[in-house]
Amino acid sequence: MNYKIKKIKLSKIIKFLNLKLNIKKDVSIKNISNLEIASKGDISFCFNSKYLNFLKKTKATACIISKNFLKFVPDNSIPIISENPQIDFIKISNLFYEKYALDKISKKIIKTKDIKKKFKNITFGNNFICEEGAKIGKNVNIGHNVIIKENSIIHDNVNIGSNVVISNSIICKNVNICDGSIIGKKGFGFKFFKGELLRIPHIGKVIISEGAEIGSNCNIDRGSVADTVIGKYTFLDNQIQIAQYVKIGDYCMLASQVGVSGSTIIGNHVSIGGQSGISGHLKIGNNVKIGGKTGVIKNIDDNKTVMGYPAMELREFIKKNIIK
């Protein structure tokens, strides 16, 4: 199922949203994006003051915003004032990516005998399902019952276990993915608005950087508009859940059953103990150490060591819980 992007006139978008707004000059909108990575031709949105700094510098051609954010919209961007910028953005997303809210399979599967011809020096197990459009590099080992979907690129020297499902992802060289992990599924995104269910289309990718390892039965969801990224030589143990648009830096270590909620950014050289959870939209600095079963609900500065629920500095955790 390839992306179905259409150009849409901004006037048509405004009409579709039932907004009363006069724009001086009509323009073509090519795609949806978020404030940070938007480029000319994109439409974006802002309703959370956390992202005002991105709004001020956005390159989006148009931006759906709350009224009080009007003064922060840069000159290159046409402000679209809305009572519900997020809801309206979701509606538009579905306009650009019609019927794109659910993951579906392609009907075009490369025949087993053609896989060896198409990709060089790869080995694969029984029942390897490779959809047309997927790209696979050299010296790649693939287990049994693996599914690689059309929007995926697998680079050289990658090792993939059995029962793995990869879609909408770029797997860089020397990555190791263990059995049963699901990479690149749509994120968990929907809103109920005036009794109607609105599903958020997910069009970002998952990027697993060079040398990283993903354990067994992990989930790494694609971002809604931007990419979910696992850094270089970052190691994930089993049963880890990484939500949409999370970015994890290089040389991190996540122990089993960790969960990271959407849009959180984690620095380099971070270690996270088993069963810890990190809320969404947070920023975790470099060289942070997070103890096991910790619940992180606010940002953590560089070089901190934390533990507990809610997370506190380790010395405080010890003082509070262990020395008495």
- What residues line the site for a copy of itself (CB under 8 A)? 102-105, 107, 109, 123, 125-127, 129, 141, 143-145, 147, 159, 161-163, 165, 176, 178-180, 182, 185-186, 188, 190, 192, 197, 211, 213, 215-217, 219, 221, 233, 235, 237-239, 241, 243, 251, 255-257, 259, 261, 274-275, 277, 279, 292-293, 295, 297, 308-310, 321-322
d(CA 184, CA 252): 20
CB nearer a copy of itself, residue 66 or residue 159? 159
CB 77 → a copy of itself: shortest distance, Å? 32
The tokens 């929007």 sit on which residue?
151
CB nearer a copy of itself, residue 79 or residue 273? 273
Q: How many CB atoms lie within 10 A of CB 278?
A: 24
User: How distant is the alpha carbon of residue 138 from its chain centre?
Assistant: 26
CB nearer a copy of itself, residue 37 or residue 115? 115
Of residues 284, 282, 281, the one with CA closest to residue 254? 284
CB 98 → a copy of itself: shortest distance, Å? 15
CB 185 → a copy of itself: shortest distance, Å? 5
Beta pairing, strands 241-242 & 206-208: unpaired
CB 265 → a copy of itself: shortest distance, Å? 17
CB 67 → a copy of itself: shortest distance, Å? 28
| Residue type at 3 in one-letter notation | Y
- DSSP, collapsed to helix, strand or coil, labels residue 146 as coil
CB nearer a copy of itself, residue 35 or residue 147? 147
CB nearer a copy of itself, residue 54 or residue 188? 188
Helix residue ranges, H only, 125-207: none
Beta pairing, strands 159-160 & 176-177: parallel
CB nearer a copy of itself, residue 59 or residue 118? 118
| Residue type at 192 in one-letter notation | F
d(CA 212, CA 297): 26
CB 51 → a copy of itself: shortest distance, Å? 21
Q: By the 8 A CB rule, do 286 and 304 touch?
A: no
Q: By the 8 A CB rule, do 262 and 280 touch?
A: yes
